[in-house]
Structure 1
Amino acid sequence: MDRMSPLDAAFLQLEDAQPGASLAIGSIAVFEGPPPARDDVRAALAGRLPLIPRYRQRARQVPLDLGPPVWTDARDFALDDHLRTATLPAPGGDRELTGLMGAIMSTRLDRSRPLWEYWLVDGLAGDRWALVSKVHHCMVDGVSGTDLYRVVFDPTPEPGPGVPDGWRPEPEPSAAGLALLAARDLALLPAVQVRAVAGAVRHPASLARAAAATARGAAGLATALRPTGASSLTGPLSAERRFAVARGTVADVSAVRHRLGGTFNDVVMAAVTAGLRSLLLDRGERPTRHRIRSLVPVDVRAPGEAAIRDNRVSCMLADLPVDVADPGARLAAVRELFRELKAEHEAEAGAVLVRLAGLEPFPVLAPGLRLVWHLPQRTITTVTTDVRGPAEPLYALGRRCVEILPYVPIASRLRVGVAVFTYAGQLALGLTGDADTASDVDRLARGIEVGLAELVALAAAGSPDVPGAP
C-alpha cells in the first residue's frame, strides 16, 4: 500500500469538485502498417504489466480524510477491463481521430478499477492504426507518462520479450484499517516534521540559498496572481471536450532558435502565443496585454528520480504577449518573459511549497484543496505543457510509431489547454477545448501552425530584425 503525495491527491480532489470533469492525461500513438489483432495487443500489454505496478492498483479514499488517498492492489484486476477497441468512420482522417479522442477523454475513469485504459483504434487512412492511452493525472505527469512509452513500446522492430509475472495481490485493507493507519501517521507526524527541520539545519549554507530563492519565487508567484483581463477563454465548463492538433518539426524550431535566439521552448511558446492571439481576434476580442496568463508546468525531478512516475512538477505563471502583432517582436517578448520567470525562481518556490504540504496534516489540507477549486478565479487563462519525448522511433508489435499526439485535461474555469510534445523529429501540439465554449480549438491549431511558419520564414530571410537575435 502506497500513500499519494499531496499533489497527486489534489488531482482527485479537483475531479471530485467538478461534476463530470475528467482529469486524465492522454495521447494518441499512430502506427504504420495494418492494425494488429486485439489478442496480440493484449498479450504484449500483459508482458509489460509487471513493470508498471500502478496499473494493477486502485485509488482508495481514507475515511474522513484522515490521510491522503492510498494505492492498494486490485484483487479483481482484469486486463480486458482496460483494453478497448474502436473503428474510425471513413475517411479516417484527423477530423475523425480527434473527434474520437475528444469523446474518449470526456468520460471519467472508473474509480473502482485501476485508473487507466488503452484504446486500439483501426480505420485510419493511409494503412495506419492508433493506440490511445488514457491515464489519470493522479498517477503520472507528462514526463513520467512519457517514460511509460519506453516500457510499453519497443526501441526496435523486433518485439521485446515479456517480463515474468509473479504478481500476487496483497490483501486490501478495510475502511476501518485505512482510518487506523492514517490516525497512526497523524500521531507520528510531529516527529517527521522535527526530522525534516533537523536535516535542513545541518546544511545552513544550502538552507540559506534555498530560502532566498524560495522567497524570490514566492514573491514572483504572488505578483503573478493579479487578475487577468476578461476573456472568453475562461468560465464555467461542460463535461464534454473537443480536441485538435497542430504540427511542426523539431528541425524548424531548432532553425528558428539558432537564427533568432532563445530556447526551443521560447520558439514553441511564441507560436502558441500567436495562435491564442489569432483565436481572440477570430472571436472579436482585443488581444491586450495581461489578457492571457498560462500556467506552465515545470519538471522538478532531482537527479536519480527520472524513473519516478508520480507527479513531480511545479509551475510558472506566464503572461503571454498576445498584444504583440509582429512575429519577431513577439518571440523577443516571449524570450524575455521566460528569462525573467526563471530568474525569479517561481518553479523552485512552487516545488518547496509542495514539499512542505507533505509535512502538513492531510485533514487540514483536504478541505482547503476543495475550497480552492470552488473559488472564482481570474488569475489563469490556460495551461501549456511542454514535454520532450523519445528522439528515436518506437515500435509496437513490429510496427513503427510515426507520431504521438498529446492531450492535456482542462478543469476549474480553463476552457482551453495546450500540450506540446516532441517525438522522433516531429513536433505535435494537442489542443483541448470545452465542447460548449471552445469547440473552435481547430482555429487555435491553425493559428499556432501559422505562427510557427512566420518564425521559420523570418529565420530564413537572412537578416531578421529581432531584438536580441544572435
Structure 2
Amino acid sequence: MDRMSPLSAAFLQMEDEQPGTSLAISSIAVFAGPVPGQEQFRATLAGRLPLIPRYRQKARQVPLDLGPPVWVDAPDFNLDYHLRRTALPAPGGDRELATLMGRIMSARLDRDRPLWEYWLVEGLAGGRWALISKIHHCMVDGIAGTDLYRVVLDPTPKPGPGVPDDWQPKPEPSTAELTLLVARDLATLPWQTTRALAGTVRHPRTLGRLARDAVRGGVAASTALVPTRASSLTGELSAERRYAFARSSVADVTTVRHALAGTFNDVVMAAVTAGFRALLQSRGEQPTRHLIRSLVPVSLRAPGEESIRDNRVSAMLAELPVEIADPVERLAAVRALFDRLKAEREAEAGEVLLRVAGHEPFLAIAPGVRLTWHLPQRSITTVTTDVPGPRQPLYALGRRCVEMIPYVPIAARVRVGVSMLTYAGRLAFGITGDYDTAADVWTLARGIETGMAELVAAARRDGQPAAPTGQPAAGQPAAPGGRRTAGGSRNTSSR
C-alpha cells in the first residue's frame, strides 16, 4: 500500500469538487502499418504489466481525510476492461480523430478500478491506426505519462519479450484496517518530520537558499490573487470536451532559436501566443495586455527521474503578450517574460510548499495544497504545458509510431488549454476546449501553425538556413541544471 503525494491527492479531490469534470491526461500515438489484432495487442501489453505496478492498483480514500488516498492492489483486475477498441468514420482524417479524442476524454475514469484506459483506433487515413492512452493525473504527470511509452512500446521494429509475471493481488484492506494503518503513520510523523528538518539544518546554505527562493517566489506568485480581465476564454464549463491539434517540427524551432535567440520553450510559447491572438480576433475581441495569464507547470524532476510514477511539478504564471502583432517582437517579449519568471523563483516557492506538505499531517495540509492549486484556476485564462517526448522512433508490434499528440485536461473556469509534445523530431500541439464555449478550437490550432510559420520566415530572412528535417536530437536535449518549464522542457538556453 502506497500513499499518494499531497499534489496527486489534490488532482483527485479537485475532480470531486467539479461534477462531470475529468482530470485524466492523455496522448495519441499514431502508427503506420496494419492494425494489430485485439488478442495480439492484449498479449503484448500483458507482458509489460509487471513493469507498471500502478496499472493493477486502484485509489482508496482514507476515512475522514486522516491521510492522503492510498494505492492498493485491485483484486478483481481485468485487463480486458482497460483495453478498448474503436474505429474512425471515413475519411479518418484529423477532424475525425480529434472528435473521437474529445469524446473519450469527456468521460471520467471509474474510481472503483485502476485509473487508466488504452483505446486502439482503427480506420485512420493512409492505412494508419492509433493508440490513445488515458491516465488519471493523480497517477502521473506529463513527463511520467510520456515515459510510459518507453515501457509499452519497443525501441526497434523487433518486438521485445514479455516480463515474467507472478503477480497475485494483496488483500485489499478494510476501512478499519486502513484507518489503523493511517493512525500508525500519524504517530510516527513527528519523528519523520524532525529527521527531515535535522537533515536540512545540517546544510544551512541550502536552507537559506530555499527560504529566499520561497519568499521571492511567493511574492511573485501572489499575482494569482488578482483576477484576469474578462474574456470569452474563461467562465463556466460543461462536462464535455472538444479537441484539435497543430503540427510543427523540432527543426523549425531550432531554425528560429539560432536566428532570433531564445530557448525551445520561448519559441513554442511565442507560437501559442500568436494562436491565442488569432483566436481572440476571430471572436471579435481585442487582444490587449494582461488579458491571457497562463498557468505553466514546471517539472521538479531531476535527470533520470522520468520513470517515477507520480506528480512532481510546481507552476509559474505567465501573462502572454497577445497584444504584440509582430512575430519577432512577440518572441522577444516572451523571452523577456520567462527570463523574469525564472529570476522571480515562482516555481521554487511551489517546490518548498510541496516539500513541507510531505512532512505534515494530511488532514492539516490537504485544504492548503488544494487551495494553492485551485485558486490560480480562478484567476488564469489558460494552461500551457510542454513535455519532451522520446527522441528516437518507437514501435508497437513492428509498426513504427509516426507521431505523438498530447492532451491536457481543463477544469474550474479555464475553457481552453494547450499542450505541446516533441517526438522523434516532430512537434505537436494539442488543444483542449470546453464543448459548449470553445467550438473554434481549430482556429487556435491554425493560429499556432501560422505563428510558427511567421517565426520561421523571419528567421530565414535574417539569414538562418533551414534546419534539415528528420533530426530528432536537434534542440531536444535538456542540459543538467535549470528548471523544466511548461510541464517538461527546461527553460534554459539548451531547450
TM-score (norm 2): 0.91
Deviations 1:296-319 (A, max 9, x none): 111111345332120011111101
Shift of 1:158: 0.3
* Mapping for residues 90-129 of structure 1, pairs under 5 Å: 90-129=90-129
Q: Secondary structure at the match of 1:268?
A: helix
In structure 2, distance between residues paired with 1:444 and 1:342: 27
Query: Which amino acid is 2:302 matched to?
Result: A
In structure 1, distance between residues paired with 2:14 and 2:224: 22
TM-score (norm 1): 0.96
Does the alignment pair 1:434 with 2:445? no
Q: Secondary structure at the match of 1:365?
A: helix
Shift of 1:347: 1.2
Shift of 1:4: 0.2
1:18 counterpart residue number:
18
Query: Which amino acid is 1:58 matched to?
Result: K
In structure 2, distance between residues paired with 1:371 and 1:341: 22
Identity of aligned residues (%): 73
In structure 2, distance between residues paired with 1:126 and 1:61: 46
Change (3 A) 1:431 1:56: same
In structure 1, distance between residues paired with 2:376 and 2:210: 32
* Mapping for residues 292-331 of structure 1, pairs under 5 Å: 292-331=292-331
1:4 counterpart residue number:
4
Does the alignment pair 1:153 with 2:160? no
In structure 2, distance between residues paired with 1:372 and 1:427: 31
Change (3 A) 1:336 1:367: closer
Tell me if the contact between 1:272 and 1:448 (Cα under 8 Å) persists in the aligned partners. Answer: yes
Does the alignment pair 1:389 with 2:389? yes
2:266 counterpart residue number:
266
* Mapping for residues 227-266 of structure 1, pairs under 5 Å: 227-266=227-266
1:39 counterpart residue number:
39
Deviations 1:387-436 (A, max 9, x none): 01111110000000000010000011110110100001111000000001
Shift of 1:130: 0.5
In structure 2, distance between residues paired with 1:371 and 1:137: 17
Tell me if the contact between 2:378 and 2:412 (Cα under 8 Å) persists in the aligned partners. Answer: no
Query: Which amino acid is 2:419 matched to?
Result: A
- How many residues are aligned here? 464
Shift of 1:371: 6.2
Deviations 1:222-280 (A, max 9, x none): 14542211111111110000000010011011100110000011000000000011111
Tell me if the contact between 2:259 and 2:463 (Cα under 8 Å) persists in the aligned partners. Answer: no
* Mapping for residues 210-221 of structure 1, pairs under 5 Å: 210-221=210-221
Query: Which amino acid is 1:134 matched to?
Result: K
Shift of 1:181: 1.3
1:165 counterpart residue number:
165
Query: Which amino acid is 1:9 matched to?
Result: A
In structure 2, distance between residues paired with 1:76 and 1:410: 31
1:29 counterpart residue number:
29
Shift of 1:124: 0.7
Query: Which amino acid is 2:288 matched to?
Result: T
In structure 1, distance between residues paired with 2:340 and 2:451: 23
Shift of 1:376: 9.5
Change (3 A) 1:300 1:373: closer
Shift of 1:65: 1.0
Change (3 A) 1:378 1:285: farther
Shift of 1:149: 0.4
In structure 1, distance between residues paired with 2:331 and 2:313: 26
Query: Which amino acid is 2:24 matched to?
Result: A
* Mapping for residues 47-62 of structure 1, pairs under 5 Å: 47-62=47-62
1:76 counterpart residue number:
76
Query: Which amino acid is 1:338 matched to?
Result: F
Tell me if the contact between 2:148 and 2:307 (Cα under 8 Å) persists in the aligned partners. Answer: no
Change (3 A) 1:357 1:373: closer
1:184 counterpart residue number:
184
- In terms of mean alpha carbon deviation, does 384-393 or 306-315 score higher? 306-315
In structure 2, distance between residues paired with 1:408 and 1:441: 14
Q: Secondary structure at the match of 1:126?
A: helix
Tell me if the contact between 1:17 and 1:373 (Cα under 8 Å) persists in the aligned partners. Answer: no
Q: Secondary structure at the match of 1:210?
A: helix
Tell me if the contact between 2:29 and 2:405 (Cα under 8 Å) persists in the aligned partners. Answer: yes
Change (3 A) 1:151 1:25: same
In structure 2, distance between residues paired with 1:22 and 1:289: 31
Tell me if the contact between 2:293 and 2:380 (Cα under 8 Å) persists in the aligned partners. Answer: yes
1:406 counterpart residue number:
406
Query: Any stretches of 5+ residues in structure 1 without a counterpart?
Result: 465-470
Query: Which amino acid is 1:305 matched to?
Result: E
Deviations 1:143-190 (A, max 9, x none): 001110000000000000000001111111001111111122222222
Tell me if the contact between 1:139 and 1:310 (Cα under 8 Å) persists in the aligned partners. Answer: yes
Shift of 1:364: 2.2
In structure 1, distance between residues paired with 2:376 and 2:402: 42
In structure 1, distance between residues paired with 2:352 and 2:369: 17
Query: Any stretches of 5+ residues in structure 2 without a counterpart?
Result: 465-495
Query: Which amino acid is 1:208 matched to?
Result: G
Does the alignment pair 1:279 with 2:270? no
Change (3 A) 1:214 1:354: same
In structure 2, distance between residues paired with 1:304 and 1:135: 22
- In terms of mean alpha carbon deviation, does 404-413 or 181-190 score higher? 181-190
Tell me if the contact between 2:74 and 2:114 (Cα under 8 Å) persists in the aligned partners. Answer: yes
Shift of 1:210: 2.1
Query: Which amino acid is 1:403 matched to?
Result: E
Deviations 1:95-131 (A, max 9, x none): 1100000000000000110000101110111010001
Change (3 A) 1:427 1:371: closer
Tell me if the contact between 2:14 and 2:374 (Cα under 8 Å) persists in the aligned partners. Answer: no
Change (3 A) 1:180 1:431: same
1:468 counterpart residue number:
none
Query: Which amino acid is 1:203 matched to?
Result: H
